[in-house]
Chain A
Amino acid sequence: NAGVTQTPKFRVLKTGQSMTLLCAQDMNHEYMYWYRQDPGMGLRLIHYSVGEGTTAKGEVPDGYNVSRLKKQNFLLGLESAAPSQTSVYFCASSYSMNRGQTSWWTEAFFGQGTRLTVV
């Protein structure tokens, strides 16, 4: 049981390049998330998904796209990287205690992070 796995762990991009970050979870969780962590700002939600085939915007979605074609995978794409996207990216997954209903008390499980530098 690996939990939440992020690929890659490190990446350096040139401005304007594109890339995809992969998140995989083996806990059969319905919900998945992408956050970015910047110094002094905590973690901020980029996009999230409440189920296979669904995605929604979070607090800071500009410049990113996501897809959830399979329940276990959540992809984060940068179409044209900018230096402002230099950050540490974390994927997380969570679950609902009651099928089809929101339960507010379940914790999130985080991946190890991807450190992205855009030069």
Chain B
Amino acid sequence: AQSVAQPEDQVNVAEGNPLTVKCTYSVSGNPYLFWYVQYPNRGLQFLLKYITGDNLVKGSYGFEAEFNKSQTSFHLKKPSALVSDSALYFCAMNTGFQKLVFGTGTRLLVSP
């Protein structure tokens, strides 16, 4: 079965520090992975995606993600966190026809 896991319900980081939001996946074939962000009372916004090729994917708002096939992970990273990055982050995997299976989400809190 295809699945995505986000092991942390919440990540706390101080502004200016690097951040990592973790995601692991399970799939029998090639994974097509996405990160989305949700701000309060808003829909989900696309951040970045991994298709194939470079294991380091760059996305919107300075975010990047590192794909690691041996560890079946796709962690979201940012070198220097901003207070405005505080939001709910979802890792997701395409299961065909762009249907997505989501992780449970990780709330990122960036303190001033």
Contact surface of A with B, Cβ cutoff 8 Å: 4, 31, 33, 35, 40-45, 48, 50, 58-59, 90, 92, 94-96, 102, 104-113
Contact of B98 among A4, A43, A108 (CB under 8 A): A108
How many chain-B residues does the 8 Å CB contact rule pick out? 25
Binding site for A on B (CB under 8 A): 9, 32, 34, 36, 41-46, 49, 51, 90, 92, 94, 96-105
Question: Which residues of chain A are within 8 angstroms of B9 by Cβ–Cβ distance?
Answer: 40
Question: With A31-B98, A107-B34 in contact, is A43–B43 under 8 Å at CB?
Answer: no
B99 touching A48 by the CB < 8 A rule? yes
Are the C-beta atoms of B104 and A94 separated by less than 8 Å? Answer: no
* Closest CB pairs A-B (n = 5): A110-B43, A94-B98, A42-B102, A105-B51, A104-B32
